[in-house]
A = this chain, B = another copy of it.
Amino acid sequence: MLLHQPDVLQGALELLDEDGLDGLTMRRLGARLNVRGGALYRHFPSKEALLDAMAEQLLEGVADADRPHDPWPERLRFLGRHLRQKLLTRRDAARVVAGTYTSGPNTQAVGRLAFQILSDAGFKPSQAGALHFAMFHFVLGHVIEEQAAAALGPEHDWAARIMKDPGYRGDLYQETLLELAKASQEERFEYGMKVFIDGARAQVGDL
């Protein structure tokens, strides 16, 4: 049976989920699709183009959750949450999206929505632009870290090693990092979003 672009994209996303970004090679993707690696170049001109298409797919629907009549801080919080949730559905998704510089429709829709929300809030275009970038840096950075920690797995026993370190006892910084790794990542995410949004509200005199 012949392969088509959507099959390759679908297979790539499945392989990403199973083996992670480092395990995603053209040869292995070919094998999964019963084809040699070189054959994939009939469907995508390069691995980079495939990764761009994957990033696009990973952002599908993220911009659809807006409630335009809610207050802007809620809309922004919602968008951030939705983006994080979507990225968490697929292994290494945040790294794929961060490592790509596409302007496909989904990518644009997400950026546009953040920009729109901030414009509605009263920010000047240059400010809305700066802030929408800052927000994506926060979300992507946060989820990259979450997914990197998940990949190490609980067996890495990072905690136990730190505990044994003689310098650990009474080191509030190390202790806190340890607690943070074990605590709810969602809670930490929400706190970051709140600080960001409160900072934005302060600019606009809404705080």
By a beta-carbon cutoff of 8 Å, the part of chain A in contact with chain B is 98, 101, 108, 111-112, 115-116, 119, 125-131, 133-134, 136-138, 140-142, 145, 148, 172-173, 175-177, 179-180, 183, 188, 191-192, 194-203, 207
Contact = CB atoms under 8 A, between A and B. Distances in A.
Contact residues of A: prevailing secondary structure: helix
Contacts of A183: 126
Number of copies: 2
Which of A98, A129, A197, A207 has the most chain B CB atoms inside 10 A of its CB? Answer: A129
Contacts of A136: 141
A196 B133 contact: no
Contact of A134 (B126, B127, B192): B192
Contacts of A180: 126, 129-130, 133
Nearest to A196: B199
Nearest to A139: B137
State the 10 A-B residue pairs at the shortest beta-carbon distance, nearest first. Answer: A199-B199, A137-B141, A195-B199, A198-B202, A125-B176, A134-B192, A198-B199, A129-B176, A129-B180, A130-B188
